[in-house]
A and B are shown apart, each in its own frame.
Chain A
Amino acid sequence: DVVLTQTPPTLSATIGQSVSISCRSSQSLLHSNGNTYLNWLLQRPGQPPQLLIYLVSRLESGVPNRFSGSGSGTDFTLKISGVEAEDLGVYYCVQSTHAPTFGGGTKLELK
């Protein structure tokens, strides 16, 4: 199985601060069809996960553009440019190029 390693496990930020979360894969996530099936999810406390970014860098409809994704192959990054209070929760990367797997999560909390 593909292992996704997220760092850091916990992130403390102030409102307005920019932060980044890393997701590293044990195998390349480039599919034979040319797509890279790496998504980012946010799970707010007591809520189900919601999709933020798909195919590495495409913003899901309705998601603020302070969120951005980048990367290729085995290294991926989620950046939040100016954290807002509603961004607090746990972020997960998830891949479906191979049998689907999730990263371990990164908890974003207020400093």
Chain B
Amino acid sequence: AVQLVESGGGLVQPKESLKISCAASGFTFSNAAMYWVRQAPGKGLEWVARIRTKPNNYATYYADSVKGRFTISRDDSKSMVYLQMDNLKTEDTAMYYCTATGTYWGQGVMVTVSS
């Protein structure tokens, strides 16, 4: 069965950093574009970052709201995708979901940015 399991969330202060991870299994990870999508409390879905596959040079794309602060990466040998979040802001508070091509979704990990 397909599984995406996020980890690494928590409470941090503004301007701090946090790295969240997503462990994938049950599908050919190396063939899948991977995304991070977030949802602020009571709000809709917002695409955050995307990373393509090796044949596409692992190209990365970011929402304007996180560009220059967040970095998405992947390790195909471990079937893992990561999101390094630097200079966090209170408006980054959200549930962060890992998704494979928008087809498979993890349960999400909560990130709270507050002083």
Contact = CB atoms under 8 A, between A and B. Distances in A.
Of the four ranges (under 10, 10 to 19, 20 to 34, 35 or more), the interface on chain B belongs to 10 to 19
A66 to B, nearest CB: 20
B82 interface: no
A96 to B, nearest CB: 7
Interface string B51-64: 00000000001000
B105 A49 contact: yes
Interface string B28-60: 000000010100000011110010000000000
B103 A60 contact: yes
Contacts of A101: 47
Q: Chain B interface mostly helix, strand, loop or mixed?
A: strand
A105 interface: yes
B28 to A, nearest CB: 16
Contact of B102 (A51, A90, A105): A51
Nearest to A6: B44
Given A60-B103, A96-B102, A100-B50, A48 B44 contact: no
B9 interface: no
A104 B44 CA distance: 6
Interface in B65-112: 97, 99, 102-108
Contact of A51 (B37, B103, B107, B108): B103
B104 to A, nearest CB: 8
Given A49-B105, A99-B61, A100-B35, A92 B44 contact: yes
Interface of A: 39, 41, 43, 48-51, 54, 60, 90, 92, 94, 96, 99-105
6 contacts: A51-B104, A51-B105, A100-B35, A100-B102, A102-B46, A102-B47
